[in-house]
Structure 1
C-alpha cells in the first residue's frame, strides 16, 4: 500500500508538468495567432491609408487636372533646392537625397490644398454650404451647427462664428437678400454686444463676396480683438439670448427645406 501511494504521488507531478507544457504550447500558439492578426491589421491599415490618398488624388484630378503638374513642380522644386545647397556645401548627392522626403511632403500639401478646393466646389451653391466652410475653422472658434437666420422661401442663410476676431456672420445665397438678412442680425446683436466687433462675410463669386473655399483663410486673417476669456464671455452672452430673436422663423427646419434647383445647377 505504501509503495502504491508513493508511486501515485510520483505520477502526479509528471501529469502537472505535462499540463504546464501543454498550457505553454497553447499560449505560444495563441500569441503567434495574435501577432499574425496584428500584422494583417497593420497591412490593412497601410493599404487603407494609401487607398485613401489615391481616392483623394483621383477626386482632385477630376476637378482640377493641373494638380498633377503642381505636385510634380513642388517635388522638383524641393530637389532643386537640395541640389543647390549640396553644390554649395560640396555634398550634392547627400543633400538631394535628404530633400526627397521634403519634396513628397510638398506634393502632398499641394494635393490637400487642391482637394479642399475641389470638395468645396462640389457643395458650392447648396443650402448650408457656408456652415460646412465654417466648420473647418477648428480650435479657438465657436461655430453654430445650424444657421442663426434663414429665409425659408429663397433659402438664404446666415451662420455665426465667434472667436478672437469677434463675431463673424457668414451669409450665403442671393447677394442682396442675404446681405439684408445678415445686416438685420448684425444690428440685433450690436444692441447686446456693443463693444464687440461684428463682421459680415458674404459667400459668392462677386466682387464684394468671398468664394466658399476662401472663407476659412479670410476669417483666419482677420484682426484679433478679443482674448480667450473674452471669447468665452461673448459666447455665453450670445447663448443667453432668446433663440427666437436670432431670426429663425418658428416652425422652420432649415435642414428639411427643398433644395434650390437653380443653385444646384449653378447660377
Structure 2
C-alpha cells in the first residue's frame, strides 16, 4: 500500500462546522430547530422580497449568504458554551480555558495543589497583574492560595494579585464566565512589564502534575481560514 493511501484526509472547513454542530447539539438539543428556523426566516423573507420586487435572483442569493452567516454566528456562540458545560467540574478545566484567552501568559501546570482533595491553583500574568485561578471551595483552599500569594508578594510587592475561584458554589465563578471575569479586570501594566514579570515567575517553576485536556472550546469552532477551505 502506498504512503499516500495511509495519509490522513485533509481537514476541510465543513469538518470544523460538523464538529461544532455535534458538540453544541449534545448540550443544546434545540439547536437544530433554531438553526432551521433562522434559515427559513432569513432566506424565506429574502425570497419573498425578491419575487415581490422583481429581483428574484439577486435578493434570494444575498439572503442565502446572510442566513448562512447568521447560522454560523449562532453556532459558534453556543459551541463555546457547550464546550465549557462538558468540561466543567473536571480537574484542570480552568487551565484549559485560560490557555485560550489572548493577552495572558498562563502556567500550564498548577502552582499549588492539594493531592487529597485535588484542589488546584493556576497562575496567569496579564496587564491587570497576576491572577490566581483556584479550583476548589473558597474555605478549603485558603491555605494553598495563601501560600502562593505570600510567595508572590515577596517577589512582586508592587503588582496587583487577583483571585478567582472557579466552581458552582457560593463565592465561585462558573467556568463559562472565567474568561469574561479575567477580561474585566482593570489593566495597569504595559506589555513589556507583563513579559518581564512572566519571565521572572517562570524561574519559580510549577508543580509538574498532569492536567486533563478535556475539550478545547475552540477546536470545534469554525474559523475564517477553514471557511476559505485552507
Partner SS state of residue 108, structure 2: coil
Aligned residue in 2 for 1:254: 209
Q: How does 1:1-267 map to 2 (within 5 A)?
A: 45=10, 48-72=12-36, 75=39, 94=58, 97-138=61-102, 140-240=103-203, 242-243=204-205, 248=207, 253-255=208-210
1:32-71 deviations in Å (ceiling 9; x for gaps): xxxxx9xxx9xx647x432442233123112111223443
Shift of 1:122: 2.2
* Paired residues of 1:82 and 1:92 also in contact (CA < 8 A): no
CA distance 1:212–1:81, change in 2 (3 Å): farther
Structure 1 stretch 174-183 or stretch 111-120: which is displaced more? Answer: 174-183
Shift of 1:112: 1.9
Instruction: Tell me the TM-score normalised to structure 1 length.
Output: 0.63
Number of residue equivalences: 202
Q: Note the residue ranges of structure 2 that are not aligned, 5 or more in a row.
A: 213-230
Q: Note the residue ranges of structure 1 that are not aligned, 5 or more in a row.
A: 1-36, 258-267
Bigger relative CO (Cα 8 Å, ≥ 6 apart)? 2
CA distance 1:130–1:256, change in 2 (3 Å): closer
CA distance 1:144–1:256, change in 2 (3 Å): closer
Partner SS state of residue 107, structure 1: helix
Partner SS state of residue 161, structure 1: strand
* Paired residues of 2:131 and 2:162 also in contact (CA < 8 A): yes
Distance 1:191 1:91 in 2: 74
